[in-house]
C-alpha cells in the first residue's frame, strides 16, 4: 500500500507540470481504463513526459474536445484518479459539491466548445462507468449459474451431480436477477448524480418507475393485466411500471437533477429542505407518466428494433462490418455510447449480440500486435511493449495496443480490423450471444450465452480474430512501411505492470 501511494504521488507530481499547471485543468474523471482531464489548452501538454510515467499504458490527446486521456487500465485507473483528484484539488466531473469551482475554471465555456454531442457522450460515459461494476457482477453471476444448471460438461448439470449446490445456485440466481430487475433504478441514480442532482432523489424516482402497485409492461402486452388508468384533468393516462426501460431512466435522471437544482435555487431557505425534494418528485412523476415515459418507451423500442433489423437484414455482412470498424470507433471515443445501447438490449431481449462482436474486434487488434512482435522480436523495447499490449488485449483493454503500436504503425491496425471482421462473420454463423456486457477477451467467456455451444464458440471466435488479424497484418506490412520500424515511442515498457 505504501509503495502504491508513493507511485501515485509520483504520477500526480508528474502530471501537473506536464499539463501546463493546475490552472490549465478544468475537471478530471475516469472511464473504465483512462484518466480523463479536460483542459483549457492542450498545446501545453508534454506527451513525452506523460508516456514515461510508471504504470501508463498510453496517452491520447483530443484537441477538438480539449481532453487528455492517460491510459492506466481497469481497476488501477479508479485508484489513480481518486488519488489525483484528492491531492490536486482539481474538480471531479459531475461532483455537485465542486460545481462552483468547475464553473470558475471555465467548464461551461468548455462544454459549449465541445458541442452537445460530445457532452452527451461524456455524460453517457459517466453514467455507465459508475454502474458498470454492478452490471458486470450480475452478468458474471448469471454465467456462473448457467455453468451450475446446464449440461455444459456432460449429460448432467453440476447441481445434479452435486445436489448440495442447488441452494447456492438459487441464491446466485436471485442475486443476478435482482440486479437486472432493478437496472432502471440503478441507472436513474447514476444519471441524477452525473447531472448534478442529489442521487437519493434519483433512487426515489427510480422506485416510482418500478412501483409494485402498477402492472408490468410485459403483463399488459400479453394481456395478463390491464394498465392502471388515471384521470388527469380529463386526460386519461395509461400507467404501467417501467421495468427494463433504460432510456426512460436516463431521461428521468436528467429531469430530476434539473428540477432539484431549480427548486434548491429558487425556494427560500426556510422551506427549501422540505419542499425542494417533494416538488422534484411530484413534477418528475407527472412528467414520467404523462410525457417522458411514453416517449422514452417508444425511443427504446425504436433503438432495439433498429438493431435487431440490422442484425436480421444485413446478417453476416452487418456483423462483419461492425466488428471490422468497432476498434476504430474506440479510437474516436464514440464507443462510450454502446453502454446505453447494450443495457437496453439486455433489458429488452435478455441478450447482447454486440458484446461478442466487440470482443473479436479487440482480438483482431491483438493479432496485429502479434504480427508487430514477430517482425520486431529482435528489438528489446518492441518486445516489451508488444507483450504488455497483448496481455492487456487478452483482458479486454485495447488502448495500449491501439495508441502504443497499431495506430502509429498502421498495418497492425488495418490487419486487425480485417481479422475482426472475419471473426465477426463467424459470430453470426454460430449464433454467438452474450448475457451481459462490460468485459471482453478472456474474461468475456463468463458472460457468453451457453446456447449453441456458446463457450466453445466464444473461444474459437476470439482465436479466429487473433489468427487472421496476425496474418493480414503480416501481409500488409509488406505494403505499409513506417519510416522507423523499430521505434515504439519514448515509453519505457519495463514500467508496465508494477501494480495490478
Q: Which residues are designated catalytic?
A: 31
Q: Are 114 and 104 in contact (CB under 8 A)?
A: no
Q: DSSP secondary-structure letter at 214?
A: S
| E strand map for 310-455 | none
Residue the block writes with cell 504520477? 11
How many C-beta atoms surround the C-beta of residue 463 within 10 A? 15
> Which phi and psi angles does 30 have, rounded to 5°?
-140, 155
Buried b (16+ CB within 10 A) or exposed e, 280-308: bbeebbebbbeebbeebbeebeebbeebe
The 3-state DSSP composition of the chain as helix, strand, coil percent (nearest 5) reads 70, 5, 25
Q: 411, exposed or middle or buried, with CB in 10 Å at 0-12, 13-18, 19+?
A: buried
Q: Which residues pair with 434 in a beta bridge?
A: 448
Distance CA 388, CA 497 (A): 8
Identify the helix (H) or strand (E) that includes residue 191: helix 183-194
Q: Is 228 helix (H, G, I), strand (E, B) or coil?
A: strand
Q: Are 493 and 50 in contact (CB under 8 A)?
A: no
How many C-beta atoms surround the C-beta of residue 260 within 10 A? 25
The three cell numbers locating residue 207: 422506485
Q: Are 68 and 61 in contact (CB under 8 A)?
A: yes
Q: Where are the alpha helices (DSSP H) in 333-379?
A: 338-349, 354-375
Amino acid at each position: 500500500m505504501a509503495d502504491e501511494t508513493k507511485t501515485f504521488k509520483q504520477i500526480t507530481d508528474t502530471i501537473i507540470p506536464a499539463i501546463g499547471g493546475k490552472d490549465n485543468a478544468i475537471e478530471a474523471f475516469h472511464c473504465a481504463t483512462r484518466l480523463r482531464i479536460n483542459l483549457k489548452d492542450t498545446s501545453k501538454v508534454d506527451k513525452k513526459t506523460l508516456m514515461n510515467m510508471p504504470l501508463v499504458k498510453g496517452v491520447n490527446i483530443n484537441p477538438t474536445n480539449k481532453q487528455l486521456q492517460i491510459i492506466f487500465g481497469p481497476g488501477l485507473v479508479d485508484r489513480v484518479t481518486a488519488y489525483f483528484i484528492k491531492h490536486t484539488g482539481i474538480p471531479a466531473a459531475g461532483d455537485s459539491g465542486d460545481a462552483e469551482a468547475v464553473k470558475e475554471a471555465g467548464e461551461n465555456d468548455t462544454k459549449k466548445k465541445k458541442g452537445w454531442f460530445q457532452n452527451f457522450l461524456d455524460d453517457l460515459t459517466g453514467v455507465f462507468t459508475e454502474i458498470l461494476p454492478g452490471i458486470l457482477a450480475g452478468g458474471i453471476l448469471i454465467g456462473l449459474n448457467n455453468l451450475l444448471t446446464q449440461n455444459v460438461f456432460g449429460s448432467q448439470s453440476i447441481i445434479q451431480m452435486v445436489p448440495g449446490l442447488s441452494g447456492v445456485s438459487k441464491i446466485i440466481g436471485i442475486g443476478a436477477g435482482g440486479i437486472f430487475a432493478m437496472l432502471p433504478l440503478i441507472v436513474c441514480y447514476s444519471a441524477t448524480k452525473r447531472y448534478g442532482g442529489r442521487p437519493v432523489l434519483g433512487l426515489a424516482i427510480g422506485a416510482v418507475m418500478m412501483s409494485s402497485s402498477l402492472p408490468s409492461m410485459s403483463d399488459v402486452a400479453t394481456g395478463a393485466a390491464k394498465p392502471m388508468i388515471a384521470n388527469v384533468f380529463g386526460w386519461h393516462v395509461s400507467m404501467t411500471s417501467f421495468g427494463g426501460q433504460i432510456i426512460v431512466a436516463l431521461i428521468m435522471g436528467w429531469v430530476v437533477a434539473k428540477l432539484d437544482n431549480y427548486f434548491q435555487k429558487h425556494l427560500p431557505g426556510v422551506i427549501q429542505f422540505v419542499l425542494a425534494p417533494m416538488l422534484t418528485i411530484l413534477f418528475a412523476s407527472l412528467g414520467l407518466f404523462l410525457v417522458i415515459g411514453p416517449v422514452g418507451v417508444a425511443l427504446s423500442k425504436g433503438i432495439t428494433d433498429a438493431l435487431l433489423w440490422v442484425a436480421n437484414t444485413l446478417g453476416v455482412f452487418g456483423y462483419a462490418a461492425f466488428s471490422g470498424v468497432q476498434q476504430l470507433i474506440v479510437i474516436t471515443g464514440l464507443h462510450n455510447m454502446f453502454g446505453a445501447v447494450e443495457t437496453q438490449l439486455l433489458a429488452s431481449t435478455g441478450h447482447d449480440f454486440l458484446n461478442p462482436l466487440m470482443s473479436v474486434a479487440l482480438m483482431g487488434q491483438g493479432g496485429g500486435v502479434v504480427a508487430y512482435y514477430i517482425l520486431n522480436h529482435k528489438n528489446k523495447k518492441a518486445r516489451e511493449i508488444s507483450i504488455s499490449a497483448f496481455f492487456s488485449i487478452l483482458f479486454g483493454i485495447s488502448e495500449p495496443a491501439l495508441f502504443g503500436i497499431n495506430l502509429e504503425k498502421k498495418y497492425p491496425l488495418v490487419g486487425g480490423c480485417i481479422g475482426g471482421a472475419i471473426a465477426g462473420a463467424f459470430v453470426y454463423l454460430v449464433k454467438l450471444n452474450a448475457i451481459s456486457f462490460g468485459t471482453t477477451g478472456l474474461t468475456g467467456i463468463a458472460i457468453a450465452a451457453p446456447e449453441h455451444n456458446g463457450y466453445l464458440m466464444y473461444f474459437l471466435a476470439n482465436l479466429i480474430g487473433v489468427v487472421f488479424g496476425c496474418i493480414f497484418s503480416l501481409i500488409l506490412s509488406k505494403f505499409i512501411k513506417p519510416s522507423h520500424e523499430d521505434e515504439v515511442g519514448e515509453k519505457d515498457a519495463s514500467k508496465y505492470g508494477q501494480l495490478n
